[in-house]
């Protein structure tokens, strides 16, 4: 199959619609990362997404809908706090999990009785979803366990020959996947951290829990248990307080002829002597936005990425730390 990267216009949207209505998959931009979308009502189209990515068959997909879409078609109960969250943060990088009405293919939620729904704010994503006119099941458009794609070229390098079309919406601004929040309990519970922070959710909903997987328990959000976001080269992660050790490791590597790069935020980059640096930038938004971009740049030019955690670890940085830790896990 020949894979084309297309600008978003009437022709490419019409072609995307044909592909999706015929059971195929199309990659499209969102404000977080690129998604790989299929018709959520079509079981074999959804199963095909798992095959294309090599995604474990128990890791459910998020359904993406247009801003005007009435989600009561798909889910049976929307608690009051969820309505407030939707009003405050949608469209945007927040995925909400509800009790499913079972209208979409069971393959979407891998047999769970819940459904994760997201309304992306990216203009291209909204145009795509409006044109398709159906709920679109979409995971990130990368090979499973690899770093999520934040440019059309990233999608191409992972899925070339496996899909027909990549809609090009430029570099994703958000840079890490959506916050996933479970809305089936009395209070919202974060299943995956992201740009909509726990503080932002608690501020609107009054309270917000955070789920963590316990030893021996079956995962409430199955995706959490998998290795994720990993670059193709070797990686190491040092705590912020161990940044001197990271620098020493870098110097030893360079002396031994190992092509190592340090990945860190801008302030840390300015405080160390290393020459080969993957600089994530200064602000929290920049750091999140650049994380996958720099991990993908790093895997191309480095044998080893030596990452240093940011000093701050709450708010948006909780999402960054979650991805960085998983990316560097052996
Ligand atoms: P990705 O498609 O790679 O962004 O991953 C989607 C994330 O959403 C994974 O962590 C899934 O476990 C989570 N997810 C999707 N559907 C559900 C659901 N029905 N219940 C809980 N988590 C979900
Ligand atoms: Mg993913």
Give 10's contacts (C-beta < 8 A, 6+ positions apart).
Answer: none
Confidence of residue 228 (pLDDT cuts 50, 70, 90): confident
pLDDT at 9 over 90: yes
With tokens 């000093």, the residue in question is 311
Task: Give 146-177 pLDDT, tens digit per residue.
Answer: 999 999 999 999 999 999 999 999 999 999 99
Which pLDDT belongs to residue 279? 98
Nearest CA to ligand 1 atom 6: 61
With tokens 């934040």, the residue in question is 150
Concatenated DSSP letters of 101-152: -S-S-TTTTTT-SEEEEE----HHHHHHHHHH-S-EE--BSSSTTBPPP-SH
221 alpha carbon – ligand 1 mean position (Å):
6
Cα–Cα distance measured from residue 35 to residue 137, given in angstroms and rounded to the nearest whole number: 9
Cα–Cα distance measured from residue 64 to residue 49, given in angstroms and rounded to the nearest whole number: 14
Which pLDDT belongs to residue 224? 63
120 alpha carbon – ligand 1 mean position (Å):
15
* Residues whose Cβ atom is located within 5 A of ion ligand 2: 140
Mutate which of 50, 96, 114, 116 for ligand 1? The one with the most ligand atoms within 8 Å of its CB, which is: 116
Asked if 275 contacts 320 with a C-beta cutoff of 8 angstroms, the reply is: no
Mean pLDDT (whole number) for 102-127? 98
Residue 81 neighbours by CB distance under 10 Å: 20
Cα–Cα distance measured from residue 319 to residue 143, given in angstroms and rounded to the nearest whole number: 21
Give me the percent of the chain exceeding a pLDDT of 90.
93
Cα–Cα distance measured from residue 98 to residue 286, given in angstroms and rounded to the nearest whole number: 31
pLDDT at 261 over 70: yes
52 alpha carbon – ligand 1 mean position (Å):
17
140 alpha carbon – ligand 2 mean position (Å):
4
Which pLDDT belongs to residue 60? 97
Which pLDDT belongs to residue 329? 80
Confidence of residue 217 (pLDDT cuts 50, 70, 90): confident
| Mean predicted lDDT score pLDDT of the chain | 95
Mutate which of 59, 107, 159, 194 for ligand 1? The one with the most ligand atoms within 8 Å of its CB, which is: 59
Cα–Cα distance measured from residue 77 to residue 48, given in angstroms and rounded to the nearest whole number: 29
User: Which ligand has the minimum distance to the alpha carbon of residue 30?
Assistant: 1
User: Which ligand has the minimum distance to the alpha carbon of residue 224?
Assistant: 1
pLDDT at 227 over 70: no
Tokens of 70: 């009435």
Ligand 1, residue 138: give the atom nearest the CA.
2
Ligand 1, residue 35: give the atom nearest the CA.
2
Confidence of residue 239 (pLDDT cuts 50, 70, 90): very high
pLDDT at 222 over 70: no
Asked if 209 contacts 218 with a C-beta cutoff of 8 angstroms, the reply is: no
User: Which ligand has the minimum distance to the alpha carbon of residue 32?
Assistant: 1
Task: Give 57-83 pLDDT, tens digit per residue.
Answer: 999 999 999 999 999 999 999 999 999
With tokens 């458009």, the residue in question is 141
Pocket of ligand 1 from Cβ distances under 6 Å: 59-62, 97, 109, 112, 114-116, 139-140, 177, 180, 191-192, 221-224
Which pLDDT belongs to residue 212? 83
Which pLDDT belongs to residue 270? 96
pLDDT at 109 over 90: yes
Backbone angles phi, psi at 32, to 5 degrees: -100, -75
Give 44's contacts (C-beta < 8 A, 6+ positions apart).
Answer: 23
149: exposed, middle or buried (Cβ count in 10 Å: 0-12, 13-18, 19+): buried
Task: Give 279-310 pLDDT, tens digit per residue.
Answer: 999 999 999 999 999 999 999 999 999 999 99
Give 34's contacts (C-beta < 8 A, 6+ positions apart).
Answer: 27, 28, 140, 141, 142, 148, 149, 150, 151, 152, 154, 155, 166, 172
Concatenated DSSP letters of 234-288: EEEEE-GGGHHHHHHHHHHHHHTT--EEEEE-HHHHHHS--SSEEE--SSHHHHH
């Amino acid at each position: 199959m020949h894979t084309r990267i297309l600008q978003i216009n009437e022709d490419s949207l019409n072609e995307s619609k044909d592909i999706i209505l015929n059971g195929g998959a199309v990659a499209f931009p969102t404000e977080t990362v690129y998604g790989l979308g299929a018709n959520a009502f079509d079981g074999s189209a959804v199963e095909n997404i798992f095959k294309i990515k090599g995604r474990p068959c128990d890791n459910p997909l998020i359904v993406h809908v247009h801003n005007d879409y009435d989600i009561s078609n798909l889910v049976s109960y929307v608690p009051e706090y969820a309505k407030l969250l939707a009003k405050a943060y949608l469209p945007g990088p927040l995925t909400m999990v509800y009790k499913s009405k079972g209208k979409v293919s069971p393959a979407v939620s891998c047999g769970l009785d819940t459904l994760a729904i997201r309304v992306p704010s990216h203009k291209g994503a909204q145009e795509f979803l409006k044109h398709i006119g159906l709920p679109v099941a979409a995971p990130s458009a990368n090979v499973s366990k690899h770093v999520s794609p934040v440019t059309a070229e990233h999608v191409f390098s992972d899925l070339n020959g496996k899909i027909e079309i990549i809609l090009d919406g430029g570099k994703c601004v958000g840079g890490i996947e959506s916050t996933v929040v479970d809305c089936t309990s009395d209070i919202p519970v974060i299943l995956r951290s992201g740009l909509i922070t726990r503080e932002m959710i608690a501020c609107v909903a009054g309270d917000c829990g955070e789920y963590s997987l316990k030893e021996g328990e079956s995962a409430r959000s199955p995706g959490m248990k998998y290795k994720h976001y990993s670059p193709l080269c070797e990686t190491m992660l040092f705590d912020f307080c161990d940044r001197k050790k990271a620098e020493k490791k870098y110097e030893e590597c360079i002396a031994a002829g190992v092509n190592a790069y340090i990945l860190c935020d801008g302030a840390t980059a300015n405080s160390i002597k290393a020459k080969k640096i993957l600089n994530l930038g200064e602000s929290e938004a920049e750091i999140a936005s650049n994380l996958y971009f720099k991990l993908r740049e790093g895997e191309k030019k480095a044998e080893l990425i030596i990452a240093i955690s940011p000093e701050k670890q709450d708010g948006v940085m909780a999402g960054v730390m979650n991805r960085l830790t998983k990316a560097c896990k052996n």
